Amino acid sequence: MQSEINPIQMNLESILTTSVFEAVKTLYSVDTEINQIQIQKTKKEFEGDLTVVVFPFVKAARKSPEQTGQEIGEYLVQNNPVISAFNVIKGFLNLNISKKYWLETLSEIHEDASFGIQNPADDAKLMMIEYSSPNTNKPLHLGHIRNNLLGHSIAEIQKANGWKVVKTNIVNDRGIHICKSMLAWKLFGNGETPESSGLKGDHLVGKYYVIFDKHYKAEIQELISKGATEEEAKKSAPLILEAQKMLLAWENNDAEVRQLWEMMNSWVYAGFDKTYEQMGVSFDKIYYESETYLEGKSEVERGEALKAFYRRDDGSVWADLTGDGLDEKLLLRADGTSVYMTQDIGTAKLRYNDYPINKMVYVVGNEQNYHFQVLAILLDKLGFEWGKNLVHFSYGMVELPEGKMKSREGTVVDADDLMQEMIDTARETSEELGKLDNCTPEEIQSIALMVGLGALKYFILKVDPRKSMTFNPKESIDFNGNTGPFIQYTHARIKSVLRKATAQGIDFSSMISTNLEISDKETNLIQLITQFPATVREAGEEFSPALIANYTYELVKEYNQFYHDFSILKEDNQALIQFRLILSESVASVVKSAMLLLGIDVPERM
């Protein structure tokens, strides 16, 4: 599956590897292990395109690294027509690849409409990717943004690597949290609705979650002042008792509670839909906890019958995981209501019933590492052979300079607000620079959307997903430098040149000549382009959109230098003009594909 993904780049590397293998065998009479042959891109400050590390061969050669490199280099130049020259510095053998090879390669890439992107075959394996997974008691915030962008991007990347992908979302629509919002609304809401308040539905419900917490805290304080311990107070405050009662009523299908629940959830979904739409994410299949938790409950009961789990005197059900080096885990509360883990068991089972899943991936923050460790063990204990194969794609938290975001302390960065802020800034910048003076209001809006969201998405996705990242709300996200807009700008610039070329009647549909003297900057650009397929593959294996982001940045940075130092349309040599147009168009095309893998659109002008 892999070697077919990118014949172009794979060819060069495997050709060179083979040549080096032969060289070492011929010169020193030893068979080298293939993974000992390390070929890397030559560093900028040295002459050459690709570099062979010679240290692994010096033992066999019984010569100095320099001399070994020299001998291998001579062999390669004589025996491989693709290699035009070499030089040795310390233990590094730098190879020049012939210009003709690069030009032919560019020509091939230019013909390939889906360069670097593999379309899933009919019999491709199926990967289900869960992401987003919101609670219905509060609006989405910056942490969800990272989750959603990662989920969406990883789905795109896996598709580009030939997987069939089902994007799924488990909505945590039931439980004690939503009862808190419901109760607060009932007590303090005076019938407020999204329509009456003008508030987006998810924000309205979130408001009552906060109101609940405020009153709950006050009750706790009062109880403490009357001599209760904090723990006692938390458990016995009237509001929390009331919320628990409501949860029980909900699980018992109480008509009034269910009606309230449905109404408030419908507000939330309308709000979420807007947020998702603006963010550009979507799902193929949505599961609701309210529809899966009963399956989870019956699985827990089955587990109890299997003696995998046990029931305590108070009626609560537990799994003893001390044998696995973990603690005991609650699966059903004493009052019979279910917890997060219960429904996750049910959801997993239903998914495997619904789809022929080859790989199940959960995009969930690293704060839940323990949860997924436990989930895998529990499913295994229940006899599901796939239980241990679940992949928890564990990404780092988004932190503020002061530390973790806390909804109760009002330090969360709201997703809707942040996106709007980015879009507004993009529009203002465009206006200041006078870039879009000839555009219609609709075009201006569409570009502001692309650029503002591009800045946000790139900012999030360029960071290694496993690492936690810092977001400083006081410093707005940049539009210059290593940013989404910089990449988008490069694309727009190229498109502008291509439009001019077309207007002048220049044909650059295919390459006239591969016998051209091209500069090092240009060969380097071609070489960077050839690395795109390998980057997509690596991003898929590593589950890392950041690799795509960093690759694209390197490519456009290089292109901007080229753009600055060379002229395209004002060149005298027609063949060179055509070559540079093809080069530019290929860069634009890779940039567009790469950004699409990140869920970022690129504009034709900006």
Partner RNA sequence: GGUCCUGUAGUUCAAUGGAUAGAACAAGUGUUUCCUAAACACUAGAUCCGGGUUCGAUUCCCGGCGGGACUACCA
Q: Which is nearer to RNA, 96 or 164 (CB)?
A: 96
For the CB of residue 133, give the shortest distance to RNA in the complex, in Å.
8
The closest alpha carbon to 24, from 80, 72, 73, belongs to 72
For the CB of residue 190, give the shortest distance to RNA in the complex, in Å.
26
For the CB of residue 365, give the shortest distance to RNA in the complex, in Å.
8
Q: Which is nearer to RNA, 73 or 485 (CB)?
A: 485
- CA-CA distance, 553 to 531, in Å (whole number)? 13
Q: Which is nearer to RNA, 346 or 485 (CB)?
A: 485
Structure tokens at 390: 């679940």
How many CB atoms are closer than 10 A to CB 6?
23
Residue with tokens 């992401």: 131
Q: Which is nearer to RNA, 276 or 459 (CB)?
A: 459
Q: In what order do the strands lie in the sheet with 310-311?
A: 310-311, 317-320, 328-332
Q: Which is nearer to RNA, 199 or 405 (CB)?
A: 405
Q: How many helices (H) and strands (E) does the chain have?
A: 21, 15
- CA-CA distance, 458 to 461, in Å (whole number)? 5
For the CB of residue 343, give the shortest distance to RNA in the complex, in Å.
8
For the CB of residue 195, give the shortest distance to RNA in the complex, in Å.
28
Q: Which is nearer to RNA, 84 or 358 (CB)?
A: 84
For the CB of residue 339, give the shortest distance to RNA in the complex, in Å.
4
Give Dmax (Cα) for the chain: 92
End-to-end CA distance of the chain: 39
For the CB of residue 27, give the shortest distance to RNA in the complex, in Å.
18
DSSP string over 82-130? TEEEEEEETTEEEEEEPHHHHHHHHHHHHH-TTTT-BPPPTT--EEEEE
Our CA angle for 168, 169, 173, nearest 5°, is 150
Q: Which is nearer to RNA, 207 or 333 (CB)?
A: 333
Q: 44: number of CA atoms within 13 Å, CB side? A: 5
Q: Which is nearer to RNA, 43 or 214 (CB)?
A: 43
Q: Which is nearer to RNA, 127 or 287 (CB)?
A: 287
Q: Exposed/middle/buried for 271, CB within 10 Å: 0-12, 13-18, 19+?
A: buried
The closest alpha carbon to 193, from 292, 122, 271, 281, belongs to 271
- CA-CA distance, 461 to 8, in Å (whole number)? 27
Q: Which is nearer to RNA, 25 or 59 (CB)?
A: 59
Give residue 141's region: left, alpha or beta (phi > 0; psi -120 to 50). beta
Q: Which is nearer to RNA, 194 or 296 (CB)?
A: 296
For the CB of residue 22, give the shortest distance to RNA in the complex, in Å.
20
Q: Which is nearer to RNA, 111 or 402 (CB)?
A: 402
Structure tokens at 56: 């692994």
- CA-CA distance, 343 to 225, in Å (whole number)? 38
The closest alpha carbon to 416, from 178, 179, 212, 199, belongs to 199
- Residue 118's contacts (CB-CB under 8 Å, 6 or more residues apart) are 5, 160, 161, 162
Q: Where are the beta strands (DSSP E) in 242-320?
A: 285-288, 310-311, 317-320
- CA-CA distance, 62 to 64, in Å (whole number)? 7
For 40, the 3-state DSSP assignment is strand
DSSP string over 480-549? SSSSHHHHHHHHHHHHHHHHHHHHTT---SS-S-S-----HHHHHHHHHHHTHHHHHHHHHHHT-HHHHH
For the CB of residue 516, give the shortest distance to RNA in the complex, in Å.
17
For the CB of residue 234, give the shortest distance to RNA in the complex, in Å.
8
Q: Which is nearer to RNA, 165 or 597 (CB)?
A: 597
Structure tokens at 322: 């001390």
- Cα dihedral sign, 223-224-228-233: positive
Q: Which is nearer to RNA, 126 or 506 (CB)?
A: 506
For the CB of residue 135, give the shortest distance to RNA in the complex, in Å.
5
For the CB of residue 50, give the shortest distance to RNA in the complex, in Å.
8
For the CB of residue 142, give the shortest distance to RNA in the complex, in Å.
12
For the CB of residue 96, give the shortest distance to RNA in the complex, in Å.
12
CA dihedral 578, 579, 580, 586 (to 10 degrees): 110
